Amino acid sequence: VLGLGVLVEDITERKHAEEERAHLYREAQDAIRVRDDFLSIASHELKTPLTPLSLRLATLERRLERGEHVDPGVLRHARHQLTRLTGLINDLLDASRIEAGRLALHPEVTRFDVLVEHTLTSLEGQRGNHVFDFKPPPDPVSVHGDAYRLEQVVLNLLENALKYSPDGGTIRVRLTVNEDVTVLSVNDPGIGIPEDQQQQLFDRYFRARNASTRSYGGLGLGLYISRDIVERHGGRIWVESESGRGSTFFVALPTLSAARPPLPRAQGDR
């Protein structure tokens, strides 16, 4: 009886080990698939601005050679494609810095209301017929943070709001402050996010079906980078959304008086 017991135990243990191995194998396969998908999406996204860019440069070259008038619009479009390309490459670099724990923060006292206003202004040329509705609070709002990185977070939320909502829609931006937390919210009347995918939005490479199946461009890195930046400021980022009915993204940061001591600096640079 004792011998049988030992045998059963042995078989059970071996079975567990086998299951564990199978599980690890499946996880590794998944990770490889995600990376492969990402590489093909990334190459496509990086290549897309290149074709119009080189066409426009060729047109420009031809006109200049013939001594013809050059339309500044051609140059503007070319610059726009370059900006897009630079943005994608910066996101790739930031994601790999985060992976390596080398995304440096340079925190200082920052006027967050001014930063939001400034970011909205920088999007004037990109907003098409969208309306930005922003009401800054009556008193100045300061946080302890890296202005460059926080602006990147705000820009990402606003660009997503523009990208995933119909032209002409109103994007509502609010800033509320209490003793402990300063909360920024960005609301759009766009395509929304299915509930079962809302948790994953902030994962690396993740693109919800709402975006991937309707061929909106993107690398799925913006929210991943934003979450890292916000959390390293002692804050939190989350979303409330309903499919087809728009989304509201929230960023909560410690109010300056409640902020923790300066953040540890990572090695490396921007």
- Please report, as ranges, the residues that interact with ligand ADP according to CB under 6 A: 156, 160-161, 164, 188, 190-193, 201, 206-208, 210-211, 218-224, 247
Tokens of 232: 């390293």
Nearer Cβ to ligand ADP (53/225): 225
Nearer Cβ to ligand ADP (107/222): 222
Within 8 A by CB and 6+ apart from 251, the residues are 153, 154, 157, 183, 184, 185, 226, 230, 235, 236, 237
Nearer Cβ to ligand ADP (135/214): 214
Nearer Cβ to ligand ADP (116/191): 191
For the CB of residue 61, give the shortest distance to ligand ADP in the complex, in Å: 32
For the CB of residue 121, give the shortest distance to ligand ADP in the complex, in Å: 20
User: Which residue's CB comes closest to ligand ADP?
Assistant: 218
For the CB of residue 232, give the shortest distance to ligand ADP in the complex, in Å: 17
Nearer Cβ to ligand ADP (11/93): 93
For the CB of residue 20, give the shortest distance to ligand ADP in the complex, in Å: 32
Report CA-CA distances (Å) from 203 to 33, 34, 212: 15, 12, 15
The helix or strand, by DSSP H or E, that contains position 189, with its residue range, turns out to be none
DSSP β-bridge partners for residue 142? 111
Tokens of 140: 């100045």
For the CB of residue 138, give the shortest distance to ligand ADP in the complex, in Å: 28
Nearer Cβ to ligand ADP (59/248): 248
Closest CA to 134 of 185, 190, 182, 192: 185
For the CB of residue 77, give the shortest distance to ligand ADP in the complex, in Å: 21
* Amino acid, res. 195: E
Q: Where are the alpha helices (DSSP H) in the chain?
A: 2-47, 50-65, 72-99, 112-122, 147-163, 209-212, 222-232
